[in-house]
């Protein structure tokens, strides 16, 4: 059995809190199941194409609840743990070399076929994410992911997005002018003494040589309430942290071709971020034993699912695409017990021209499985701590 990785945004008045939670729970179940089943379908169809017998296709994870039916020598089963699924290929759990290399087994297939089978699940997740992102960026008016404000400004200049530049006041420093007069934070700075500002660089010249200024800001939950506050200056400063931030951001209707290009770009950006995040996770756990901000597990994904359901179907769909991409990236990395780890041994066999030692491979995968379970436990524990 293949171990799949689980590591890795308007509420309606007539929906009760309980119903909202039930809908979110169902959405979470569908999300996880769809992503893993799509992954396993890749392995299933690639294996059948290569002549490898698929002994079982399980909906959910063991223990088995019921055998559904048998089709083309494959047993389809319903399992008690309602997350995702699995495929079991002939010879995967074989104890002897004879069983392992029997006709129709995974190890009896050519190396090229085994590579395709192992990569097929990842390819399906990438393809699924690409299709959703293409739809979202073309017809859904989605905003691509930009890693810096400069990147966002560049995209606005070429018409990739529509943006009105602005300034966000993230916080007022304790003991200084803005904090003393209770300037609301966060808020969007519109004017300094009645003159419009659109970037942090506009502010200092308007404050030079003055003892006080009046900030006109948008505040409140949705940054829509306009208020004016007079703030005393000390050395030309009000004691606030200013950051460039889009006051308004939207996307035009794009062609499917443009949407597909942006989908490829989104895939690359998220891939780099995912790999970087894994590196940060390893470094943080090794040096401080802590899980860094932004890294989440099952509990965190469930929380994000709940938020996405509240915000609407398109937000939920984007979460689905993002997680599909994350599953693909994590599974293709050379981590024992995952597809990338198994692929490593197949490629090693191709280089050495002989199979790797079975005990070594099984031991490595077992250690990898234990490490993955440990990481899931640690990340889930930190997810729970953040909730409370």
- Does residue 1 sit in helix, strand or coil? coil
Task: Please state the rounded mean pLDDT for residues 196-201.
Answer: 94
pLDDT reported for residue 303: 79
Q: Look at residue 10 and tell me whether its pLDDT is greater than 50.
A: no
Task: Determine the pLDDT at residue 55.
Answer: 92
Share of the chain above pLDDT 90, in %: 47
Q: Indicate the average pLDDT of the chain.
A: 86
Contacts 24+ apart (CB under 8 A), 302-309: 302/24, 302/25, 302/28, 303/383, 303/387, 304/9, 305/24, 305/27, 305/28, 305/31, 306/20, 306/21, 306/24, 306/27, 306/28, 307/9, 308/9, 308/27, 309/20, 309/23, 309/24, 309/27
Q: What is the pLDDT of residue 1?
A: 39
Q: Does the structure show a pLDDT above 50 at 5?
A: no
**Where does the pLDDT of residue 294 fall: very low under 50, low under 70, confident under 90, or very high at 90 and above?**
confident
Which residue ranges make up each domain of the chain? 17-144+253-387, 162-250
**Mean pLDDT, residues 116-135:** 96
Question: Rounded to an integer, what distance in angstroms lies between the CA atom of residue 295 and that of residue 230?
Answer: 41
pLDDT > 80? residue 155: yes
Structure confidence at residue 17 (pLDDT): 65
pLDDT grade, residue 112 (50/70/90)?
very high
CATH topology classification for 162-250: Pdz3 Domain (2.30.42)
Per-residue pLDDT tens over the stretch 235-257:
888 999 999 999 889 999 999 99
Nearest to residue 8, comparing CAs of 285, 280, 289, 296? 296
Residue 16: predicted pLDDT: 58
- pLDDT category at 13 given cuts 50, 70, 90 is very low
- Give which of 318, 297, 326 is closest to 126, Cα–Cα: 326
- Looking at 2-16, 48-62, 119-133, 156-170, which range is the least confident one? 2-16
Average pLDDT for 155-162: 92
Radius of gyration of the chain (CA): 26
What is the average pLDDT across 286-313? 79
pLDDT of residue 6: 36
What tens digit of pLDDT does each residue of 336-379 get? 888 998 899 899 989 988 887 778 888 888 888 888 888 888 88
pLDDT at 230 over 70: yes
Least confident range from 9-13, 62-66, 70-74, 362-366: namely 9-13
Mean pLDDT value of segment 64-68: 90
């Amino acid at each position: 059995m293949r171990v799949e990785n689980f590591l890795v945004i308007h509420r309606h008045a007539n929906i009760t809190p309980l119903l909202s939670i039930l809908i979110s729970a169902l959405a979470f179940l569908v999300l996880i199941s769809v992503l893993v089943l799509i992954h396993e379908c890749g392995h299933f169809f690639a294996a059948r194409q290569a002549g490898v017998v698929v002994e079982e296709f399980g909906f959910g994870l063991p223990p088995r609840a019921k055998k559904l039916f048998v089709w083309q020598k494959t047993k389809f089963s319903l399992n008690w743990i309602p997350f995702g699924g699995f495929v079991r290929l002939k010879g995967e759990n074989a104890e002897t070399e004879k069983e392992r290399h029997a006709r129709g087994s995974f190890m009896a297939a050519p190396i090229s076929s085994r590579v395709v089978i192992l990569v097929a699940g990842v390819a399906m997740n990438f393809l699924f994410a690409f299709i959703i992102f293409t739809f979202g960026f073309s017809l859904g008016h989605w905003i691509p992911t930009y890693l810096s404000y400069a990147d966002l400004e560049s995209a606005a200049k070429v018409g990739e997005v529509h943006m009105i530049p602005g300034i966000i006041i993230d916080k007022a420093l304790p003991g200084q002018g803005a904090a003393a007069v209770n300037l609301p934070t966060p808020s969007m700075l519109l004017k300094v003494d009645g003159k419009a500002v659109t970037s942090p660089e506009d502010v200092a010249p308007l404050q030079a040589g003055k003892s006080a200024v009046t900030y006109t800001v948008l505040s409140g939950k949705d940054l829509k309430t306009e208020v004016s506050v007079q703030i005393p200056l000390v050395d030309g400063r009000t004691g606030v942290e200013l950051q460039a931030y889009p006051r308004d951001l939207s996307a035009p209707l794009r062609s499917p071709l443009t949407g597909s290009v942006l989908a490829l770009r989104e895939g690359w950006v998220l891939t780099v971020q995912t790999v970087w995040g894994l590196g940060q996770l390893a470094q943080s756990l090794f040096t401080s034993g802590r899980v860094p901000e932004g890294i989440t597990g099952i509990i965190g994904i469930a929380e994000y699912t709940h938020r996405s359901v509240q915000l609407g179907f398109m937000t939920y769909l984007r979460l689905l695409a993002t997680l599909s991409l994350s599953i693909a990236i994590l599974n293709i990395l050379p981590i024992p017990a995952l597809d990338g780890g198994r692929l490593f041994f197949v490629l090693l066999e191709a280089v050495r021209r002989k199979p790797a030692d079975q005990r070594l491979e099984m031991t490595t995968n077992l250690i990898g499985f234990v490490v993955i379970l440990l990481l899931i436990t640690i990340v889930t524990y930190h997810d729970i701590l953040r909730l409370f």
